[in-house]
Each structure stands twice: as structure tokens, then as C-alpha cells.
């Protein structure tokens, strides 16, 4: 059984749910949930500023609903403006998952970096070292980032009642 799991990991390249849960348990997650504080905590641990930037959904059409731009000294996370707080958290957790899981090592997509240029005309494209977005869901790092986001979103203590959609309140215990 253990060898089968190791072989599956080696073949897929993705971390197991148990491994991702272990990473999450080591994070400084504010209770009650506070997205800004969590992002600050991740930035502090990584030693890199993280800027969250909502952008119009029309600009992200036919593209990922979130995008992580890796620059030399900081990171920018683009996400769909006007979406629900819950959905924004899901998108942002996916992109932070990439960061926490170390997906910036050897990663990059010039096409995604070019796509971001109209969104951030003041940003010099030469400063963007890599761009990661949800383009190929079958890739191991996309599976890991989505698993990270799903596990983070499933944590009942993380969701403030006022920010969760009504259907979530049915499933999430209020304290």
C-alpha cells in the first residue's frame, strides 16, 4: 500500500492530500478568518510582499480566473473583481497554494505574463519572472494548488459567517 502511494506520487508528481494537510497545519491561519492577515502571514514567511489585485472579469475571459505574477522581489495575485468574497478566497487560496508549495521554482509562462500586460500597463514586462495561472488542470502543480485551496476553504473556522454565502452556512459550523 505504501509503495503504491509512493509510486502514484512519483508518476503524478503531485503531493498527497496528507502532505498538503500537513503543510496547512504549519501555517499561521487567523481565526476568525481574515484574508488580508493570512496574506500578510504568507508574505512574512516567504520574505516577499504579496499584492492582491482585483481585475475586471472581461479581461480574464477565456483565461484563468486567477493569476500569480512572480517578480524579482514581490508577487502579484490577480483575481476576478466583483465575484463573491467566498469565490475570491478560493481563487486567492489557489494562487497562494502555488506559492506555499514552491511552484515558482522553474515555472513560468511567457504567454500568461504577456496576457497580464494589458491588465497592468504600468508594469514593466521585463520585471515579471514567471506567471502561473489555471490553464492546465491536469498538471501536478495545478492539482496540488487546487487541493490546497479546497482544503483551506473546507476549514470551518476560517470562514466568517458574514462573508460566506448562505449555502455555506448550512455546512460550516458557526462558533
The whole-number average pLDDT for the span 160-171 is: 46
Write the DSSP assignment of 94-110 as a string of letters.
HHHHHHHTTTTTT---H
Distances (CA, A) of 143 to 37, 78, 97, 169: 25, 19, 10, 27
Which three cell numbers mark 119?
491588465
CB of 164 closer than 8 Å to CB of 86: yes
Burial class (CB in 10 A: 0-12, 13-18, 19+), 103: buried
Domain boundaries, the chain: 17-154
The whole-number average pLDDT for the span 104-127 is: 60
Task: Tell me what percent of the residues of the chain surpass a pLDDT of 90.
Answer: 42
Q: What is the pLDDT of residue 119?
A: 61
- Dihedral of CA atoms 62, 64, 70, 76 in degrees, nearest 10, equals 100
Which three cell numbers mark 145?
494548488
Determine which of 15-19, 69-73, 95-99, 112-116 has the lowest per-residue pLDDT on average: 112-116
**Helix ranges (DSSP H) in the chain:** 2-12, 17-25, 35-46, 57-60, 85-100, 110-116, 140-154, 166-171
> Which one is predicted more confidently, 4 or 155?
155
Amino acid at each position: 500500500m505504501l509503495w503504491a502511494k509512493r509510486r502514484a506520487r512519483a508518476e503524478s508528481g503531485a503531493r498527497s492530500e496528507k502532505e498538503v494537510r500537513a503543510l496547512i497545519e504549519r501555517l499561521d491561519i487567523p481565526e476568525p478568518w481574515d484574508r488580508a492577515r493570512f496574506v500578510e502571514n504568507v508574505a512574512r514567511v516567504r520574505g516577499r510582499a504579496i499584492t492582491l489585485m482585483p481585475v475586471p472579469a472581461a479581461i480574464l475571459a477565456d483565461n484563468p480566473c486567477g493569476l500569480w505574477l512572480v517578480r524579482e522581489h514581490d508577487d502579484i495575485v490577480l483575481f476576478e473583481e466583483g465575484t463573491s468574497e467566498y469565490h475570491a478566497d478560493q481563487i486567492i487560496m489557489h494562487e497562494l497554494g502555488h506559492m506555499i508549495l514552491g511552484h515558482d521554482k522553474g515555472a513560468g509562462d511567457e504567454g500568461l505574463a504577456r496576457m497580464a500586460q494589458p491588465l497592468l500597463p504600468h508594469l514593466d514586462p521585463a520585471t515579471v519572472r514567471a506567471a502561473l495561472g489555471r490553464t492546465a488542470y491536469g498538471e501536478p502543480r495545478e492539482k496540488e494548488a487546487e487541493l490546497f485551496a479546497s482544503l483551506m476553504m473546507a476549514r470551518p473556522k476560517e470562514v466568517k459567517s458574514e462573508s460566506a454565502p448562505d449555502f455555506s452556512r448550512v455546512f460550516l459550523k458557526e462558533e
